[in-house]
Chains A and B, each alone.
Chain A
Amino acid sequence: MKKMTLHLRIWRQKDANTPGKLVSYTLNDVTPEMSFLEMLDVLNEHLVAKGEEPVEFDNDCREGICGMCSLVINGIPHGPEHATATCQLHMRHFKDGDTITIEPFRAKPFPVVKDLVVDRSAFDRILAAGGYISVNAGSAPDANSIPIPKEVADEAMDAAACIGCGACVAACPNASASLFVSAKISQLALLPQGQPERKRRALRMIEQMDREGFGDCSNHAECEAVCPKEISIAHIARMRREYMKAMLC
């Protein structure tokens, strides 16, 4: 199997209160079949064997669906491959001798926990401010009692595909969470079930987003470019309309 040598520059930071810095490592035994995170596993095995502390990075499903992995790779959240989360990126997209810089998702509302791990709990708090439909278990009508046109259901599904990773925030010069927030507002605004709470939801979620310290959207569209689930910025436009309508009445 072909082996590659890579030069890694990785952000190391002990905890939220200690300043961090980029540290260089060289890896000689990377194969093209490895995933990016498996490459980091190999690095960590080498570090542990030398008695050094491994690089901490968040991950769980390694299938691009849980939204736990992050990483800014050579300046791009989730790295160079389009519509691909870090955990689905494979080393065949890199060349022998490449230098790769790996940093955490950076944004004020996402404080670094350690090394490449950040705290994204602000997202939970935004969704808790209205990203739901109020229905208690047991009180739902028959599922087929409200037909929903296929196109509408598909569009809602497009929005619902967001994995809550936060790459959109990390990519935005203003650290805006608009793509993430609009995906949820849009999904629920499209569906008949979401109508009763539509206005309240838009107002409260957007207020919470501001309160968490995320910036405003000024249409850079960097978020859409890095989103692993190809969430469209058209949702941001819909969110703005929802907000305006909610403010007006």
Chain B
Amino acid sequence: MKLDSKLPSGPLHEKWDRHKADLKLVNPANKRKHTIIVVGTGLAGASAGATLAELGYNVKSFCIQDSPRRAHSIAAQGGINAAKNYQNDGDSIWRLFYDTIKGGDYRSREANVYRLAQLSVQIIDQAVAQGVPFAREYGGLLANRSFGGAQVSRTFYARGQTGQQLLLGAYSSLLRQVDLGRVTLFSRREMLDLVVINGKARGIIVRNLVTGEIERHVADAVVLATGGYGNVYFLSTNAKNSNATAAWRCYKRGAAFANPCFTQIHPTCIPRAGHYQSKLTLMSESLRNDGRVWVPKKKGDKRHPNEIPEDERDYYLERRYPAFGNLVPRDVASRAAKAVCDEGRGVGEFGQAVYLDFADAIRRLGIDVIRDRYGNLFDMYERITGENPYEVPMRIYPAVHYTMGGLWVDYNLMSTIPGLFVLGEANFSDHGANRLGASALMQGLADGYFVIPYTIGDYIAGTELEVVSTDADAFKEAEDGVKQQIDKLLSIKGKKSVLEFHRQLGEIMWDYVGMSRNAEGLKHAIKEIRKLREEFWQNVYIPGDSRNLNKDLEFAGRVADFLELGELMAIDALHRNESCGGHFREEYQTPDGEALRDDKNFAYVAAWEYKGDGKEPELHKEPLEFEYVKPTTRSYK
């Protein structure tokens, strides 16, 4: 395997334009003769499906849920960044680029990130034209807020439902193409394998989740937009159906997996309440604009928060990071919360929480302003915890939220398998070792609306695409493999539920491959994951059969893949002997506990190649060069 990132030459700000000018075009009359499979209908998949159909391609669109509109993107709350500089506060494409590179701790490609910043501007135009009701000022122009520590106001939002509104916009464009006959929807389908013919991605195998039927679908190219793998930790802010299966099966077919250990732990989530806990709920980061984070100075202080006097509180973010205070980036805020809890100063029933306090903000701005800004978030908090955050500080704790790692792609968003393109959270492309708030929505839509329509055309125009049908041997082989796995899973008839295996895997991942890692713990995790995987294949119990809706069976396949991916994440974390972004290795820190990056040895993308079950994956390195931004120590002090 050779990694060729295909980065265009020329000055940074001209790269994308020059590249577009060099890309081959498909004759408009021929486009409808080409079928493109798009797996996933989140922001990335829906925008890609709609746009490719607008260009005239014949698109088949797949998703797990009963409707494309329910993809996990719908849950994004806070907002979407764009370098519009409508606020005249010094924002620019350069600044968004710079913030993203720095925020990612210098582990992403300059060219990709610059393109993302350039395209951000068009995304807002597109969304508004679709009827996305972004927040507005009284003068009728779009409102912005500052988000997640950005020092400019560049975040566009639609109340606390930005992801929903952007997704409904993309979904409506997708449905328009359904109406026009250029997109066919395949809902309640799960992709279980990629079909590769003559070295090119030519189709997929899916299971119809209602009838259990295994279907073959053929195409000229496959676009994967299946989201992130945060659910490998069992408890995360991701939707229950979010999973890594499609990406993982592509990895096993030859697509390199990049930086799997780069996961983002979001600092402001509602803490776990009990063993039955099924997921964690994010409280939008925007809360940190007005809320102050603190814990008691004394260990094990069990007093009611409102009874703890001011001078016995430790506003530890303000203390440690005077310049950014409560607005430090996510990874920094999460680690700091863990540190005070590890010291025994955590609050709540399990001592695994810190306070996020609005008392000062309410005094300063009045309760109405706070209600106007965060009302729905406060309601959500109260609904879940039964506590009123207007009166009692919120309790929050970090939770797994996003995965920066993903399938490796070149500048064209093509994986190491020709014809397999990967978009959105499923790829690794733009966020380096840490993603900035409000940047995932931007990336998903940039990929789908504005990158893939150009680059896929170049691939189709420049590639010899043999005529293939679903009768090809490769389809049969892939389908047989899928069926065998399903039969095997059902035949084990062991004693332990899929859920229990998933929970156990999650605990290993959270304890050893979570917020902070060390070599010993990672080695232990690898051993434990292997043991658990072995037990899974001998002792899992799946009720029912494969001939109708069977969620346990669906989840079993996903957990089986998580049990392999988890190991790769630990291997990657173990090999990366540095701390950067979301990857914090305890051995590599400064005396005052800040991350210690090693640019000399680790300024590269780690792309792992599958070598067969039970074999060590092979590491390929894509060096990262910084021509425009000089890597410095990220300091938020």
Name A's B-contacting residues (CB within 8 A): 1, 14-15, 31-35, 37-38, 41-42, 45, 47-49, 51-54, 56, 58-68, 84, 88, 90, 92, 113-114, 117, 119-121, 123-124, 127-144, 146-150, 153-154, 156-157, 160-161, 163-164, 187-188, 191, 193-194
Kindly state whether residue B359 has any CB partner on chain A within 8 Å: no
Residue of B nearest to A39 (CB): B276
* A-B pairs with beta carbons under 8 A, tally: 224
State A119–B210 Cα separation when bound (angstroms).
Answer: 10
Please report whether the interface of chain A is mostly helix, strand, loop or mixed according to DSSP.
Answer: loop
State A15–B129 Cα separation when bound (angstroms).
Answer: 42
Give 11 CB contacts A-B under 8 Å: A38-B276, A65-B164, A120-B66, A132-B172, A137-B50, A138-B449, A143-B84, A143-B127, A144-B86, A149-B140, A163-B164
Name B's A-contacting residues (CB within 8 A): 47, 50-51, 54, 65-70, 72, 74-75, 84, 86, 122, 124-142, 158-159, 161, 163-165, 168, 171-173, 175-176, 178-179, 185, 187, 210, 239-241, 273-274, 276-279, 281, 380, 383-384, 386, 449-450, 453, 497, 499-500, 541, 543-544, 548-552
Give chain B residues whose Cβ lies under 8 Å from the Cβ of A68.
65-66, 70
Give chain B residues whose Cβ lies under 8 Å from the Cβ of A140.
122, 125-126, 128-129
Decide if B130 touches A133 in the complex (CB within 8 Å).
yes
Decide if A141 touches B131 in the complex (CB within 8 Å).
no
State A32–B140 Cα separation when bound (angstroms).
Answer: 45
The 10 closest A-B pairs by CB, nearest first: A147-B140, A140-B129, A132-B172, A140-B125, A157-B133, A128-B175, A143-B128, A137-B449, A156-B133, A132-B176
Give chain A residues whose Cβ lies under 8 Å from the Cβ of B70.
60-61, 66-68, 164
Given contacts A53-B543, A143-B125, list 10 more A-B pairs with CB under 8 A. A33-B273, A61-B240, A66-B65, A90-B383, A120-B66, A124-B178, A131-B175, A133-B130, A140-B128, A153-B134
Within the complex, the shortest CB–CB distance from B586 to chain A, in Å, comes to 33
Decide if A84 touches B138 in the complex (CB within 8 Å).
no
State A135–B173 Cα separation when bound (angstroms).
Answer: 8
Decide if B65 touches A60 in the complex (CB within 8 Å).
yes
Decide if A92 touches B552 in the complex (CB within 8 Å).
no
Known: A121-B187, A137-B54. A164 touches B67 (CB 8 A): yes
Give chain B residues whose Cβ lies under 8 Å from the Cβ of A135.
126, 129-130, 173
Decide if A63 touches B126 in the complex (CB within 8 Å).
no
Decide if A62 touches B279 in the complex (CB within 8 Å).
yes
State A194–B552 Cα separation when bound (angstroms).
Answer: 43
Decide if B543 touches A48 in the complex (CB within 8 Å).
yes
Within the complex, the shortest CB–CB distance from B312 to chain A, in Å, comes to 29
Give chain B residues whose Cβ lies under 8 Å from the Cβ of A141.
125, 129
Decide if A49 touches B66 in the complex (CB within 8 Å).
no
Known: A124-B185, A133-B131. A53 touches B66 (CB 8 A): no
Give chain A residues whose Cβ lies under 8 Å from the Cβ of B544.
53
State A164–B171 Cα separation when bound (angstroms).
Answer: 12
Decide if A60 touches B67 in the complex (CB within 8 Å).
no
Q: Which of A58, A67, A134, A143 has the most CB of B within 10 A?
A: A143
State A52–B137 Cα separation when bound (angstroms).
Answer: 56
Known: A68-B65, A147-B140. A194 touches B131 (CB 8 A): yes
Known: A66-B239, A148-B136, A193-B131. A34 touches B274 (CB 8 A): yes
Within the complex, the shortest CB–CB distance from A138 to chain B, in Å, comes to 7
Decide if B142 touches A144 in the complex (CB within 8 Å).
yes
Decide if B138 touches A191 in the complex (CB within 8 Å).
no
Within the complex, the shortest CB–CB distance from B85 to chain A, in Å, comes to 11
Decide if A160 touches B74 in the complex (CB within 8 Å).
no
